[in-house]
Amino acid sequence: MGKIPGRLRSAMIGAVLGVMLLVGITSQSQTQVETNAGAPVPAQITTAKKIFIANAGTESAYFEDKLNHYVGGPNRAYDQFYSAVKAWPQIEIVSSPAEADIILELRFEDRTVPGLSGSSILTQLRLLMIDPKSSTTLWALTEHVEWAGKSKNRETNFATAMNALVNDTKNLILATPK
């Protein structure tokens, strides 16, 4: 076989690279379609009828320092979450983990964390869904509470984050008929 002229050689290399790129894009989009379908939610979550709600407490330097950023004290998040879940149909809140199909463990964090450009305030609601038989965390949800300088805005942001956490939890637990 003879030597391939420069222009033809460049055209062939371009065609080969184009085909390789097309194959890569096609296989990548197929992979994305497969992974976008979503992994299944554990059955213990979608079939739970009896729920135990655990208060994992509040991590806040501000409650201890009497510089409360939020009204309602350290049990506010737990109290509000408990009240919201109590209103769900087909769900019974039980008084002990042994009676539960699933444990919902709620924690509220409001603390200062160091950052590259100084410190910032991290405020979040964290919910773990735990299998009471194995103590395995099956699912975790976190809702960040946007910081605000004014008390009224902080309260609004807390309510927004709590509503989002309640709705996300409800959508997982009540995803399928009981």
80-122 pLDDT, tens per residue? 999 999 999 889 999 999 999 999 999 998 777 777 776 677 7
Calpha distance 117→30 (Å, rounded): 41
Q: Kindly report the pTM of this predicted structure.
A: 0.72
Answer whether 165's CB lies under 8 Å from 143's CB.
yes
pLDDT (tens digit per residue) in 123-164: 899 999 999 999 999 999 999 998 887 888 888 999 999 999
Calpha distance 46→14 (Å, rounded): 52
Closest CA to 157 of 119, 114, 125: 125
* CA within 13 Å, CB half, 21: 6
**Judging by beta carbons within 10 Å of its beta carbon (0-12, 13-18, 19+), is residue 12 exposed, middle or buried?**
exposed
Which pair of tokens denotes residue 134?
């194995």
Beta strands in the chain, from DSSP E residues, in sequence order: 50-60, 92-93, 102-115, 118-130, 137-144
Three-state secondary-structure class, residue 157: helix
pLDDT (tens digit per residue) in 26-62: 444 333 334 346 788 999 999 999 999 999 987 765 5
Calpha distance 84→81 (Å, rounded): 5
Is a pLDDT exceeding 70 seen at residue 170? yes
**Pair type for strands 92-93 and 137-144:** unpaired
Average model confidence (pLDDT) for the chain? 79
